[in-house]
């Protein structure tokens, strides 16, 4: 089956949870940073691929920024039940309440995330090995590369577009 693209503002109308893979990356710590998000509908079809440069940030800040953007986009798509997958053990364990949030900047981002999460009927977050988050990682790195090309920041990739092709 071919993945389908979601038109801007299109709602994910199928019952069940929307799966979202997220990743944040920084070259240097801090350094140029980007976020990558892969949104899949309850039927397993790719709804949207997002990559964005976020300027200079640490890797942990980039991970939180990826989550915040994913939550915002899930809300815009009309999702009520979401499952988030991240290879950041710190992010996942902090949101599960298993790790404390000590850094002041992360505390602010964590509070914003908790506020956005409260708007969903169901929210689950799972830590996955990096090998299971390859596409979100590639999207985050693509976001970093955009810092060198300031024209077209924050684009959404057409799920059906070739890997080397343009963005939509």
Classify residue 156 by its DSSP letter.
Answer: E
- Half-sphere exposure at residue 61, Cβ-oriented, CA atoms within 13 angstroms: 19
pLDDT in tens, 145-163: 987 675 555 555 555 544 4
Query: Rounded to 5 degrees, what angle do the CA atoms 114, 117, 122 make?
Result: 140
Tell whether 160 is covered by a domain.
Answer: no
157 closest CA partner among 147, 166, 145, 149? 166
Enclosing domain of residue 59: 18-149
Report the CATH number that the domain containing residue 94 is assigned in CATH: 3.30.420.10
Residue 147 confidence (pLDDT): 73
pLDDT in tens, 77-98: 999 999 999 999 999 999 999 9
pLDDT in tens, 20-62: 999 999 999 999 999 999 999 999 999 999 999 999 999 999 9
pLDDT in tens, 90-131: 999 999 999 999 999 999 999 999 999 999 999 999 999 999
Tell whether 11 is covered by a domain.
Answer: no
Asked if residue 6 has pLDDT above 70, the reply is: no
Number of independent structural domains in the chain: 1
Tell whether 40 is covered by a domain.
Answer: yes
Tell whether 76 is covered by a domain.
Answer: yes
Q: Mean pLDDT of all residues in the chain?
A: 86
């Amino acid at each position: 089956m071919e993945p389908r693209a979601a038109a801007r503002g299109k709602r994910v109308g199928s019952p069940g949870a929307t799966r979202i893979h997220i990743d944040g990356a920084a070259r240097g710590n801090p350094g140029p940073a980007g976020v990558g998000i892969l949104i899949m509908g309850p039927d397993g079809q790719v709804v949207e691929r997002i990559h964005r440069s976020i300027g200079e940030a640490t890797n942990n800040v980039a991970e939180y920024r990826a989550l915040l953007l994913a939550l915002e986009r899930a809300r815009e798509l009309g999702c009520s039940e979401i499952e988030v997958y991240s290879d950041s053990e710190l992010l996942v364990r902090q949101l599960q309440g298993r790790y404390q949030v000590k850094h002041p900047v992360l505390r602010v981002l964590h509070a914003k995330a908790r506020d956005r999460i409260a708007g969903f009927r169901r929210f689950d977050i799972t830590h996955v090995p990096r090998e299971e988050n390859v596409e979100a990682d590639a999207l985050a790195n693509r976001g970093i590369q955009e810092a060198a090309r300031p024209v077209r920041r924050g684009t959404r990739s057409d799920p059906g577009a070739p890997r080397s092709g343009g963005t939509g």
